[in-house]
Amino acid sequence: MSSIATFIDGTLTVTTEHGTETISVQDISHNWNALSHFPERRASMELGALAERLNSFADHVQGLIEMGGRLDAVSEVTEFASRQISLTRRSWALESRCMSAFIVGPAKFPTERNRKRMNSADKGQELIREHLTKAKRAVERRAFPHGMPGDAIRANNPDAPELIREKIERLRANHSRMKAVNAAIRSVKSGDEAEMIEAVIDVTGFTRATAAKIVCPIEAWMGRGFPGYMLSGELAEIKRLEGRLKSIERNRERGEVERMAETTAGPLRIVENGDAARVQLFFEGKPTAGVRDALKSNGFRWAPSEGAWQRHLNENGRWAVERVLKALEPVSA
C-alpha cells in the first residue's frame, strides 16, 4: 500500500476511502502564536510529524499483509487516520490555549493557569502516541489472532498441538546433531583440527566454515563442539514442550466445562473453554470496582469479544478462580 499522506509546499494531503483531506500551514499556524516566534515553522513540523505517523501505520499494515495477515488495508488505514487526525487537531487546540512569557511578555503572566493548560497539552500529545502504539498492536492481533509469525505458539491456536510437535521434532533433531558433532570430534584421536573439521562435515553436512567455527571457536575457553549446558538446555526445552502439549490436548479433550457459583457479586458462571484455552468468568452485570480489582489482581482481564473476564486455562488459572471465589465470599445455598 502506497503512502496515504504527503506534505508538499506547506500542505498536508491525506487520502483514504472517505476521500481527500488537506491541512495547510496557514490553516493551523495560529495555534502557536502565543508559544513561538515562528508559528509557521512549528505548524510545518506538526504536519510533517502527522504525515509520518499516518504513513508509518499504513506501512505497518502492508507489512502484516505481506507476512500473510488477512486485513482490509484500506479500511484499517482509514479508521486509524480518522482517529489520529482527530486526536492531533485536539492536541493543537489545547496548545493554542498555552502561552510563553517570552512571546506575550512577563507582565501579569498567568503562571498557574498556563501550567495547567500546558499539562493538558502534554496529555494531548501523549494520547496521540498511545493511539499509534495501541493501533499497531490491535491490527497485529486482527492480522494474526493466534500470534505473530515467530511468536510463541499460543494454546488457543487451532494448530497448536501440531505446531508444538513439529517444534519438538526440530529440537530433537538438533540435539541429535549436536551429540553427533561432539562424538565426531572425540573420534579424532590425533587431535588434528583439519581431521576434526572433516569428521564434523561428514556427520552433519555443515559447510566447512561452520564446521571450522565449531571445532576452532574464536574463544579458546569455549572448547570444541557443543558444551554440556547447551545439550541439557535443549533437553529441558523438549521436556517443557512435551508437558505443554499434554496440557493442551487434555484441555481440548475435556471440551467446555461449566459451573455456577453464588457470590456477593451475584451469580457467577465459570467456564473452562478448552478450544480458546481460557478460563472465563461471566457476571450478570458489570462488576463493582472492588470486584474488578479482585479479578485483575488474580490475572483476569476483560475480553469484550467474549463478554467475560478471562485468563489462560491451566492449573494457575484454576487456582486463580478459587482465589476470586474466596475474595467474593461465596454464599452457600
> At 279, which helix (H) or strand (E)?
strand 278-283
Tell me the pLDDT of the chain averaged across its residues: 93
- Residue 48: its pLDDT value, please? 97
Query: Which residue has cell 493543537?
Result: 92
Is the pLDDT reported for residue 329 higher than 90? no
The DSSP result for 47-67, as a single string, is HHHHHHHHHHHHHHHHHHHHT
- Residue 217: its pLDDT value, please? 83
Distance set, CA 253 to CA 42, 123, 256, 277 (Å): 62, 49, 9, 12
Is the pLDDT reported for residue 148 higher than 90? no
Task: Report the b/e string of 2-38 with b at 16+ CB within 10 A.
Answer: eebbebeeeebebbbeeeeeebebeebbebbebbbee
Lowest-confidence region among 70-79, 115-124, 144-153, 275-284? 144-153
From CA 253, how far away is CA 14, in angstroms rounded?
A: 51
From CA 148, how far away is CA 247, in angstroms rounded?
A: 22
- Helix (H, G, I), strand (E, B), or coil: what is residue 13? strand
What's the whole-number mean pLDDT along residues 117-138?
97
- Residue 33: its pLDDT value, please? 96
From CA 197, how far away is CA 206, in angstroms rounded?
A: 10
Q: What pLDDT, in 10s, does the model give residues 57-106?
A: 999 999 999 999 999 999 999 999 999 999 999 999 999 999 999 999 99
**Dihedral class, residue 99 (left if φ above 0, else alpha if ψ from -120 to 50, else beta):** beta
Is the pLDDT reported for residue 2 higher than 70? no
What's the whole-number mean pLDDT along residues 121-126?
97
- Residue 255: its pLDDT value, please? 83
Q: How confident is the model at residue 128 (pLDDT cuts 50, 70, 90)?
A: very high
Is the pLDDT reported for residue 107 higher than 60? yes
Other Cβ atoms less than 10 A from the Cβ of 150: the count is 6
- Residue 254: its pLDDT value, please? 84
CA torsion angle 36 41 46 47 (round to 10): 150
Q: What pLDDT, in 10s, does the model give residues 158-207?
A: 889 999 999 999 999 999 999 999 999 999 999 899 999 999 999 999 99
- Residue 333: its pLDDT value, please? 47
Distance set, CA 123 to CA 4, 50, 138 (Å): 26, 17, 22
CA torsion angle 136 278 330 285 (round to 10): 50
What's the whole-number mean pLDDT along residues 288-297?
95
Q: What pLDDT, in 10s, does the model give residues 22-62?
A: 999 999 999 999 999 999 999 999 999 999 999 999 999 99
- Residue 10: its pLDDT value, please? 95
From CA 299, how far away is CA 302, in angstroms rounded?
A: 10
**CA 181, 184, 189, 194 torsion: positive or negative?**
negative
What's the whole-number mean pLDDT along residues 148-166?
88
- Residue 18: its pLDDT value, please? 87
Is the pLDDT reported for residue 14 higher than 50? yes
Q: What residues contact residue 179 under an 8 Å CB cut-off, 6+ apart?
A: 231
Is the pLDDT reported for residue 307 higher than 80? yes
Query: Which residue has cell 541439557?
Result: 232
272, β-bridge pairs: 257, 279
- Residue 237: its pLDDT value, please? 96
Share of the chain above pLDDT 90, in %: 81
Beta strand 278-283 with 301-303 is unpaired
